[in-house]
A and B are shown apart, each in its own frame.
Chain A
Amino acid sequence: MTNSRPWIPYLLILPSVAFLALLFVVPLVQTIWLAVSDNGAPSLANAERMVTDINFTRSVKNTFLLTIAVVPVQIAIALAMGTMVAKVGRGRETILWIWTIPLGISDLAAGLVWLSILQNTGYLNSLLFGLGIISRQASWLSYQTPVALFIAIAVAEIWRGTAIVMVIIVAGLNQVPKEFKEAAEIFGAGPWTRFWRITLPLIRPALQSALILRTVLAFEVFAVVYALGGRNFPVLVGEAYNWQNQNQNYSVAAAYAVLIMIISLAATLIYLKALKVDPERLP
């Protein structure tokens, strides 16, 4: 069938290509043009405005720090969770189901959940006060407590974003053939050796997807930070939002959007190079 009519596959993907072109490529080109033009002429004024803004350096630093702190922890926790659940027989589905609950909660809602715990009149302060550990409300989220604020945001992000990594890694673990492990056991390999030499290399495609997805999402972190930190913890997407929404300067907002895209693309390329997956293992 495909031999006689080779155009059929192209015809089938045409609607999605058209859809992508219309709703992704066109706005993308418009955004890029908005970022690198000023009054209709090419210009770097917006980029300059962005780079010289007082929050620019801080937002870049915060975004990268958060990514560096959050992604490895998420991958480690997800690997541990995935390995643990692999040993469980009955009730596996229930455990997985409970672990993925944060996945069903929107970013902003997750931020608000953590805000209700960590704000001055929140659950954490009430608990500490009830136990007699503190004598008055402590602030964890103010500009005077940057470390506590950073930890709070990182914890909230880890809580919210680990489930998706775990789902991908559990799917990857399910594909590791049992025979390999059994053979290794026969040759006397311990659990660590089996994990490092067999499991980890075999789930590399899953790990790659999870890393790309999580890193890109970490660079785009916004709602949780906005709920917990507000103005106190500027991040890149938050600055884009401020320029678009509060300052009403769409061009500088577009410059931020383009910067975020470049960083995300660079991170993806690095992962694709660093975690090379054999072509025959690609889906």
Chain B
Amino acid sequence: MKHIMSFGILASTVLAFASPVLAQTVFVSTQLRPIEEATVVREELLKDVGPVDYVVEEPPQFAVRMEAERQAGKHTVSLVGALHGELSPLADKDTLEPLDDLAKKLAASGMPQSLLDLGKLGKSTQQYIPWMQATYVMAAKKEALQYLPAGADVNALNYDQLIEWGKNMQEATGQPQIGFPAGPKGLMARYFQGYFYPSFTGGVVRTFQSADAVAGWEKLKALWAYVTPNSTSYDFMQEPLAAGEVMVAWDHIARLKNAISAAPDDYVVFPAPAGPKGRGYMPVVAGLAIPKGAPDKAGAEKIIEHLSTPDTQLLTASKVGFFPTLKVKLPPDLDAGVALLAGAVTATQASKDAVISLLPVGLGDKGGEFNKVYMDSFQRIVLQNEPVADVLKTQGATMAKLMADTKAACWAPDAKSDGPCPVE
């Protein structure tokens, strides 16, 4: 009995001392959430960096968790992975560790300075390290190509050609064949901010209610006649594409990847159409940051360095379809679906009329309401057929108030502003 007791005491003492050694670095991410992707992160991407607890969190809950840890002063998270726009409210509250030393090291190993500068989030110090990047493209079933209007190049479409294409497909098949992710969890708001508005008006906020915008919305209404009405229920376009509900779709590359990787021979992937002001496009950057008060800062830095090696970045690209932030050449044996997506991304970046539109910055936790302005305009103009100019005027007022409340300055492609970005 005595033996057992002393053994028990010994064991618990050992455990008590051993636990700090076993403690894992907690890595919370809003990216790579689906179970297959999270498994890739745990079992392949983070395999060699020691014990890491990779936890995924939906964006709204992520914001709540970070705020709760900050208010409580009790930190469990050592490393966060999130989108540029999700990290920006954290930086605004000054809750991220500066990462300038790491940034210098990565700049030396081939991370473009322009990308690193994004990670400063408008501050003087490095707030996050760019982790991986993506964008939005269009995908079409190859059988849809026969309906392309004469003379149209799928890699350099404009809106008139897309409308005509949609019309041809509808006449041939009896059903609208174009789809957009306008469902509750779809990324339709990004279409307006990164593609539609820059293409038609050359801006996002300043030009919100301009005459160009009115003309753009009229064009979108014409396009919508050939868009399937089920679009307002679509969250990810890969499912309707794979199920044959639509032939042509616009979405985030990660939300198209499953369909395209499953049957790369059936699809073509190409840039979004151009409007009168050019071909709007929105690069999406996910970054890695260390919250102030992180329990394991050294471990977190080690993980950032590991995830920023060329090998890990290429593995990330081939497994989950997010592209490297380092200047590396994609290998020839890349997954055929990812290679198709990468081709479209390159075609977009290389197109002469590209208009880069950045993710909104400086809106803090009002990002959702900013999206709502665009989605409400869409609902009223396109779905409920209300007069365009009236809707843009009332929604423009909401937008102006939002900008004034958050004091957010203009971001590209809008011209720079002193103080809050004005709605002209």
Contact = CB atoms under 8 A, between A and B. Distances in A.
Contact of A231 (B174, B183, B244, B369): B183
B365 A54 contact: no
B232 A246 contact: no
A223 B199 CA distance: 37
B174 A143 contact: no
Interface string B155-199: 000000000000000000011000000111000000000000000
Nearest to A242: B184
A232 B231 CA distance: 10
A21 B191 CA distance: 46
Interface stretch (A86-94, A134-142, A200-208): A134-142
B104 interface: no
Interface stretch (B264-272, B318-326, B348-356, B376-384): B376-384
Interface in B370-393: 371-372, 376, 379-380, 383
A232 B367 CA distance: 22
Contacts of A145: 229
Given A54-B379, A247-B369, A230 B232 contact: yes
Contacts of B372: 246-247
A14 to B, nearest CB: 30
B232 A120 contact: no
A136 B175 contact: yes
A226 interface: yes
Interface residues of A, number: 23
Given A226-B184, A231-B182, A231-B184, A248 B229 contact: no
Chain A CB within 10 A, most for which of B182, B230, B379: B230
Given A121-B245, A246-B371, A142 B233 contact: yes
B368 interface: yes
Chain A binding surface SS class? loop
B347 interface: no
A141 B365 contact: no
With most chain A CB atoms within 10 A of its CB, the pick from B60, B184, B376, B379 is: B184
A248 B369 contact: yes
A136 B174 contact: yes
Contacts, number: 63
Interface string A246-272: 111100000000000000000000000
A145 B232 CA distance: 12
A56 B165 CA distance: 37
Contacts of A120: 230, 243, 245
B63 interface: yes
Interface in A190-239: 226, 229-232
Contacts of A249: 368-369
A142 B229 contact: yes
B255 to A, nearest CB: 16
A245 interface: yes
A54 B183 CA distance: 17
Given A54-B379, A246-B60, A121 B243 contact: yes
Contacts of A16: none
B184 A248 contact: no
A249 B383 CA distance: 25
B367 A248 contact: yes
Interface in A101-156: 120-121, 136-137, 139, 141-145
B366 interface: yes
Nearest to A228: B233
Nearest to B365: A248
Interface string A41-59: 0000000000000100000
Q: Give me the 5 closest cross-chain CB pairs, A-B, nearest first.
A: A142-B229, A247-B368, A248-B368, A144-B229, A230-B233
5 contacts: A136-B175, A142-B230, A142-B232, A231-B233, A249-B369
Interface of A: 54, 120-121, 136-137, 139, 141-145, 226, 229-232, 242, 244-249
Given A121-B245, A144-B229, A248-B369, 11 more contacts: A136-B175, A139-B228, A142-B229, A229-B233, A230-B232, A230-B233, A246-B371, A247-B368, A247-B369, A247-B371, A248-B365
